[in-house]
Amino acid sequence: MTTSHNTDLIVIDGVSHTFDTNSGQLQVLDKLTLGVPENGFSAIVGPSGCGKSTVTRLVAGLLKPDEGTVWLQGKQVTSPRATVGMAFQNPVLLEWRSILKNVMLPLEIVPNDLSSSAREARARDLLKLVGLAGFEDKRPSELSGGMRQRASLCRALVHRPEVLILDEPFGALDAFTREDLWLTMHRLREEEPFTGVLITHDLREAIFLADEVIVMSGRPATVQYSQTLPQRGPRSLDQLYTPEATDMLNILREQIKIARQGEEPGA
């Protein structure tokens, strides 16, 4: 088997992708190249429809690139990987299962040698870590949107995936709930180190959570700009209101404006 020379845990190397649509061929990605080191967390921002979710599907092996290669831990991704944890804007929890059983689901699907009591203990520990102790036996509809998203993060991490992919996970939450979830993300990262990609349209969220922010261009998308954050690990919300943070946000906003050039007004 071929192996990657790049030592990053996630490597997207010169990936291009075109979809066949009713109105013809749509080239979404054009030689996109980026890497995320082990235990790194990169945020990807870019115009709506530029191909961010397509990137997540390529990393998860749900889609094969027309050109270029995706590598995880030095191995080429050619088929869906069970060792990728994913969470989306809509948590899609199963209503007929309790929160605990929802979180345990990946342990029933992905091969592992945990006993059933160890699986349950693992799920309970994670729920406690995100502040959901006491809600294990509730059904998804009995929880608030923010709590469902917390449970969804636990489910994405329960089988200790190689990679965590978050596709606009906090997009549907109100601003205060979202900030609580950001703090939870930092706690999770400290307790459960993972290598991850966060897709977001919230620039504050990107600089608060990630080690690196990557701006994708408009279609066909490539990496237009990237910025490494000065700090890794937990941050306080106050830091979002410092002159340094404001400068960074202004640069990112400017980059998004450039990326959106050529879009239909109001698209």
Residues that bind Mg ion (CB under 5 A): 52-53
Nearer to ligand ADP, 52 or 119 (CB): 52
* Residue whose Cβ sits closest to Mg ion: 53
Structure tokens at 23: 């109105």
Nearer to ligand ADP, 126 or 216 (CB): 216
Question: By CB under 6 A, is residue 17 in contact with ligand ADP?
Answer: no
User: Minimal distance in Å, beta carbon 41 to ligand ADP?
Assistant: 19
User: Minimal distance in Å, beta carbon 206 to Mg ion?
Assistant: 15
Question: By CB under 6 A, is residue 50 in contact with ligand ADP?
Answer: yes
User: Minimal distance in Å, beta carbon 168 to Mg ion?
Assistant: 6
Nearer to ligand ADP, 24 or 265 (CB): 24
Count of residues near ligand ADP by CB under 6 A: 11
Which partner from the list ligand ADP, Mg ion, none does 145 bind, CB cut-off 5 to 8 Å by kind? none
Contacts of 178 (CB under 8 A, 6+ apart): 170, 202, 205
Binding residue (CB under 6 A) for ligand ADP from 6, 16, 26, 139: 26
- Where do contacts with ligand ADP occur on this chain (CB under 6 A)? 19, 21, 26, 28, 48-54
